[in-house]
Homo-oligomer: A and B are copies of this chain.
Amino acid sequence: MALHIFDPIQDAEIRTTAKLLKDLNGDAKVHFVQIDRLDPPKKQAIHYLNVERNSAPGTQLPFIPRRTYAYYYLNDEMPLYKALCNVSENRVIANQETPEGTVGPLLPDDVSAIEDTIMEHPVVVAEIAKLNIDRIHYKHSRLGNLGYTVVCEPWMYGTDSPHDKIPLIQAYMYMKLDHPEGNHYSIPLRFSPVFEYLTHKFVRMDYLPAGADEKFIQETLPYKQLETVEYHPDLIENFTERGGLKPLIVSQPEGASFDIEGSKIKWQGWEFRISTNVREGFALYDVFFKGRSLFYRVALNEMTVPYADGRAPFHRKQAFDLGDCGFGNTANSLALGCHCLGVIKYLDTRRADQDGNPVLIPSTICMHEQDYGLLYLHKNYRNGNTVATRRREFVVQTIATVANYEYVVNLIFDQAGAITVQVRATGILSTMPNDDGNTTDFSTIVGPGVTAPFHQHLLSFRFDTRIDGDNNTVVYDDYVPMEENTAINPYNVGFRQERTFMEKSGYVEQSPFTNRTYKVINENSINPVTLKPVGYKFEMPAKQMIAASKNSYNVKRAHYATQQFWVSKYHDDQLYAAGEFTNQSQKDTGLSEWANGTESVRNSDTVVWATLALTHPPATEQFPVMTSDFLQFLVTPSSFFTRNPALDVPLANNNFNKSVYYEDAQKSAGFVPGTSSSASCCKSNI
């Protein structure tokens, strides 16, 4: 079968891209840092989708060549090149140097390689020797004597001056118990080498403050042994596994309720394509519910993680986890019964290595159903009759590990046309050394000699909207008290809606105290019941945006993070909120340029960008591994349908759901679900 325009990149397409560009560059060493599929021009794609949707089965779809992009260096030198290839027709479409100073994203293999270099470099080896760790060991109550080893954690260098125009790595160094599960984040060391990323040349050694200011910087001394804080059961002293947790089995004896054909998913009225990619993890395309168009493309497109710590070199800790690393590149391989529960469908990601060979990352996406309580319920108190439906959800999940942190991204679909965008932050805090007893107002001590700085996570989700048609309008609604003592409001209880239309690209300021609500409406589609345009609502939690001063590189590089809700006019290739190249960037080349108030966006091809923000002052409960922090927002129909679109969901009943009484379940080991329960279900009719 021919590939769909939104099918993810194929191994052969990676190979073709690599070969085309190697051939183009003759004898030079081509060092790829990213190869992936590029979306077709939207105009072509919309035509393709319209033909696909409106034609008889088997109709020939328009031919649109499959395209790829590649970022690469030649001979491990700047500049960074960017090329576009037509892999359907085996040719290079474009190939050019990126602007001076542009640094490409990190490739996992390159990070591993420089990690090895750093650990073996004489300057680093000499510094490690000063710790004199061979003399000490930790006497573990169950494992006996354990030695210590040193770990190198390469970080994106960040930015603090306009003069760093070569790719650099800042390595944070740690120690750990010499055991595979040892938690190195528990022993941050006080030196931090800087290396050139491409040439692996040593640049300098930074020394880290371990207290409120730079007077806590010192030369490397023999390691003074402190208790470590471990997360693995094998290493936790006096560990007793918590008892009492009984199995909870989710089974679907008749199979799952979703259908998959290639990249196409169908579930309970929803239809969309899903395409994994190395930068965003995945994107959804051509999203419909109940036969009506909602979105052309939906994806998490960027996340920046700026830290609150102003002391050099920590001030440069600002990750762009998608632009610098890629959520596909760093995706976990998900496993049954661990990352997802129930009946699970997995999808893979393909990336390229530095030579342009395809690399399979298996099972980066899991998809499954879950029950999440009641969808809706009403009891007629006069006769006791109840209508009740269970809320079944369809979850698309990916998990990225960016060194210490894990991000669990869930798109959750319900049966009533809403999408919950949920991110769970888990994993391990990025830590710093701390002299005994130093407390600060920008970090939390989380263990002996170790502190975790405050920081933020600011994620941008891009929704290329197609709400009931190609032209959309962004509005926001405020709810304000009515004027007092008027004919309509004599008792002063009234409040009303005030609607504001976004005429130009830009942002909407947050205003939770007027219950400001962002909506994407279609002025060409009037709801026959409300007599107003149909729409979808973005219900976002009011949050602190980026807290650094606007005079910092943190903000200049992530201008998108200053506001929660942005609107831009659609243009091909405007996909990433902070711009295409974020690593060591000096400014945001994304929304700061595309949503600058100059373009008309009303009743046009609009894109909205939602910034989900978390200010994170760590707590001891979040170390040595943190229980998930939840961030989420809701995208839900707002007078898009003429009535509740879930009225056709079957009413709940226990012949279907097979719940059981606690008393019965406790009595019988090996209890068969359903035996005590068939008589019981809510009275849904007389």
Contact = CB atoms under 8 A, between A and B. Distances in A.
Given A249-B250, A344-B662, 4 more contacts: A256-B666, A341-B390, A484-B551, A492-B552
Interface in A237-259: 239-242, 244-257
Given A250-B250, A439-B531, A617-B477, A371 B341 contact: yes
A435 interface: no
Given A250-B248, A417-B621, A547 B495 contact: yes
A685 interface: yes
B493 A248 contact: no
A548 B439 contact: no
Interface string A613-632: 00101011111111110100
Interface stretch (A65-73, A227-235, A579-587): A227-235
A113 interface: no
Nearest to A667: B255
Interface string A483-512: 010011111111111100000000000101
A227 B327 CA distance: 51
Contacts of A213: 487-488
B231 A490 contact: no
A332 B494 contact: no
Nearest to A269: B242
A386 B363 CA distance: 15
Contacts of A645: 621
A652 B337 contact: yes
A163 B626 CA distance: 58
Contacts of A665: 252, 255-256, 343
A628 B391 contact: yes
Interface in A656-684: 656-663, 665-666, 669-671, 673, 677, 680-683
A354 interface: no
A62 interface: no
Given A337-B652, A628-B391, A343 B662 contact: yes
Contact of A426 (B378, B441, B625): B378
Contact of A268 (B245, B339, B417, B650): B245
Contact of A625 (B552, B627, B647): B647
Interface stretch (A42-50, A406-414, A570-578, A591-599): A406-414
Contacts of A292: none
A171 to B, nearest CB: 14
A28 interface: no
A620 B380 contact: no
A306 interface: yes
Interface centre among A245, A318, A332, A390 (most CB of B within 10 A): A245
B335 A245 contact: no
Nearest to A397: B373
Nearest to A679: B336
Contacts of A150: none
A491 B256 contact: no
A506 B577 CA distance: 42
A310 interface: yes
Interface stretch (A8-16, A274-282, A444-452, A467-475): A444-452
Interface residues of A, number: 204
Query: This chain: how many copies in the complex?
Result: 2
Given A337-B653, A532-B439, A541 B544 contact: no
Nearest to A486: B310
Interface string A428-472: 100000000101111011110000001000000000000000000
Nearest to A317: B493
A183 to B, nearest CB: 9
A673 B255 CA distance: 11
A388 interface: yes
Nearest to A342: B659
Nearest to A686: B180
B654 A337 contact: yes
Contacts of A620: 527, 529-530, 639-644
A637 B629 CA distance: 12
Contact of A548 (B214, B234, B492, B497): B492
B248 A342 contact: yes
A336 B660 contact: yes
Interface string A525-546: 0010111100001000111110
Contact of A662 (B256, B268, B477, B531): B256
Interface string A386-406: 111011100001010101001
B494 A308 contact: yes
Contact of A641 (B408, B617, B621): B621
A93 interface: no
A447 B245 contact: no
Contact of A512 (B246, B336, B495, B512): B512
A545 to B, nearest CB: 8
Interface centre among A242, A493, A543, A662 (most CB of B within 10 A): A493
A357 to B, nearest CB: 20
